[in-house]
Amino acid sequence: MSCRGSRRCFSGARAAVQLLARFAWSSGSIVANGMAALTGPRDGDGDARSPFLVVGLGNPGPRYRGTRHNVGFMVVDRLVGRLSATLAAVPDRDLILYRAGEGDRVVCLVQPLTYMNASGTVVSRMAHRLGLPPERVLVVVDCLDLPLGRIRLRPRGSSGGHRGVDSVIRELGTDQFPRLRVGIGRPESGEAIEHVLSPWAAAERSVLATTLEAAADAVCLALAAGVEAAMNRYNGWSAAEDNAATTQGEVNIEDV
């Protein structure tokens, strides 16, 4: 791969990641290879070809639609289109479930409708229903401690004070599940609760759109090549650099 200038190279790398994820999904290697890489060898806690569960956290209803706290829902919406997922019929009234793939190539995308602080009940129930270990549950959440335009993926860890993640840890009985944090930044003034439940400002929407696309890219890459690969690619990513690279002109895929 030859790149003229670091910004063009960064943008070209993003195009390559998107192509990798699309190829991996269409070829079946997400389950056959990528999911095994995501969780690693296991001793009797699930087959490497079993489904994978991606859960975006948020609050239900029109009052919370488009708020910062619902960025997990927004990423799932992007993934529904990216993976050509379809709405699945479920007996539960406290979740929305989308299903992508068929046979042994399945990813389940979930938006809990229990409100943020009780999200873990849905996550635990779905993981149990699908027979999945925690390592196969990827949770997408907002993060006050990351600025807008940054994302961070981790294979495990504490909640960092996020009550939705607290609920998931409590209901699963472990913090050993991957999570993708999407930065929303802290308010310059006022209470954090008001900030997370407020809608995005007009000036933020361009950066938000770029960030949501990158977050969806990161999830797809984690499924295709494993969490570590996605961490290496996206934990240093920033929307500012990505947008700057875009202004340098369209990337020629032949250069990637």
Q: Active-site residue among 69, 128, 162, 195?
A: 69
Is 128 considered catalytic here? no
Is residue 13 within 8 Å of 242, Cβ to Cβ? no
Give 119-137 as a DSSP string. Answer: HHHHHHHHHHHHT--GGGE
Distance (Å) of CA 159 to CA 33, 154, 168, 181 = 29, 11, 9, 10
Helix axes 6-27, 205-225, angle to 10 degrees: 50
Please enumerate in sequence order all residues whose Cβ is within 8 A of that of 182, keeping only pairs 6 or more positions apart, or say none.
71, 72, 75, 140, 141, 142, 143, 146, 151, 211, 212, 215
For residue 134, which of 164, 104, 171 has the smallest C-alpha distance? 171
Phi-psi region at 23: left, alpha or beta (left = phi > 0; alpha = psi -120 to 50): alpha
* Residues carrying an active site annotation: 69
